[in-house]
Chains A and B, each alone.
Chain A
Amino acid sequence: MSEAQRAWRRGVREALQVPAAVTAAGYLGFGALVSGYGGPLWAAVLSTLTMWALPGQLVLMDMWQVSAPLVAVLLAVAMANARFFPMVLTLMPLLRDPQHTRGRLYAAAHFISMSSWTVCMQRCPQLPPGERLPYLIGFASACIAVGMLAGAVGYLIADAIPPAVQFGLLFLAPVYFFVMLIGEARSRIAALALACGGPAGPLLHLVTPQWSLLLAGVAGGTLAFAIHTMLERRRE
């Protein structure tokens, strides 16, 4: 077995613990939601493979249900998923390795989501450079497979899931990210950005729901960057 295969397997193995459970819970809820909206089963399953972004998928099905125009859907989904740009940008330097082609990097980008990004940002520096990309692919493909399966199951058993339980399933993902981001933030800069971006999200949502995510990122991130720069200067 090659190094890459071993790294891939390690990714799969590490995904099939808490991350897979959280993914399964989230997509069970998503599948049930699509069923409740009267959408087809294939949409609940396929969108996980093609988008791999639960919040964006929720936005998509939400807007489909109210017959929103195509352009509005495209804009809303793009805005809900704008976070992928800085996320991919910051993870890429960790994934790069002379043995990876450009095409492989572009393909790998599709596998970067909230869960794989938060895990890889901490995990990748501990791995040899060549093994990071296969690790990410293994981790994310396991999660995607689980997500597709859970979406189908959630869709099919939607009527049997009481609303209170459906609610609990959907809430699992925010709790997971909440604990993970606070507990696993290793660097000061990450902690600063989390502290600044957290309050900015809900506050800006009150002002402008459509733009809140983007603005919270830029405003909170800039504030954190300013504080970080100031602290660095003081130390010198």
Chain B
Amino acid sequence: MNELWLLLAAGALGTYAWRALGVLLSGRIAASGALFTWVACVAYAMVAGMVARLIVMPSGLLATSLLPHRLIACALALAVYYGCRRNLLAGVGAGAVAIAVLNALRTAPLWQ
């Protein structure tokens, strides 16, 4: 196995480099221009793409659940969020409980 502290340093570098680049170039792109609008689109699309991938095709432990269950939980979370007048806590809570129950029903007995 690799030296973990070295990997951690590399990880920190590979992460902060993007942030620093963002600061560096932000001063040179006009916030009202088309280029800036495009970058904002890319940022939102990237975030949405990542969240969608985490839900539709996750890796590791999350991959052990069923796709319909994850979709049901997300839909319910959104429904409760709007139903409770845009209450984020209620929505996310409902989604978490839904996925836990659905997963527990499938993989029961839960507490071994």
**Which residues 37-54 of B sit at the A interface, judged by CB distance below 8 A?**
37-54
Q: Give me the interface of A with B, judged by CB distance under 8 Å.
A: 17-18, 21-22, 25, 29, 33, 39-40, 43, 46-47, 50-53, 55-58, 60, 62-64, 67-70, 73-75, 77-78, 81-90, 92-93, 105-106, 109-110, 112, 114, 117-118, 162-168, 170-183, 189-190, 192-202, 204-206, 212-214, 216-222, 224-225, 228-229
CA distance A193 to B45 in the complex (A): 5
CA distance A89 to B40 in the complex (A): 8
Query: Which chain B residues lie closer than 8 Å to A200 at the CB level?
Result: 45, 49
Q: Is the interface of A mostly helix, strand, loop or mixed?
A: helix
Number of residues on chain B facing chain A (CB within 8 A): 78
Nearest 4 A-B pairs (CB), nearest first?
Answer: A88-B22, A197-B45, A201-B49, A217-B46
B15 touches which of A53, A58, A118, A224 (Cβ 8 Å): A53
Binary interface encoding of chain B residues 55-69 relative to chain A, with 1 for a CB under 8 A from any of its CBs, else 0:
111111110110000
CA distance A182 to B111 in the complex (A): 35
Nearest Cβ distance between residue B83 and chain A, in whole angstroms?
Answer: 12
Query: Which chain B residues lie closer than 8 Å to A47 at the CB level?
Result: 8, 11-12
Is there contact, CB below 8 Å, between A77 and B46?
no
Query: Which chain B residues lie closer than 8 Å to A57 at the CB level?
Result: 11
A217 touches which of B10, B42, B64, B77 (Cβ 8 Å): B42
Query: Which chain B residues lie closer than 8 Å to A213 at the CB level?
Result: 46, 49-50, 53
Query: Which chain B residues lie closer than 8 Å to A62 at the CB level?
Result: 59-60
**Which residues 1-43 of B sit at the A interface, judged by CB distance below 8 A?**
1-2, 4, 6-23, 25-27, 29, 31, 34, 36-43
Is there contact, CB below 8 Å, between A220 and B23?
no
Query: Which chain A residues lie closer than 8 Å to B7 at the CB level?
Result: 60, 63-64, 70, 73
A109 touches which of B23, B27, B81 (Cβ 8 Å): B23
Is there contact, CB below 8 Å, between B52 and A198?
yes
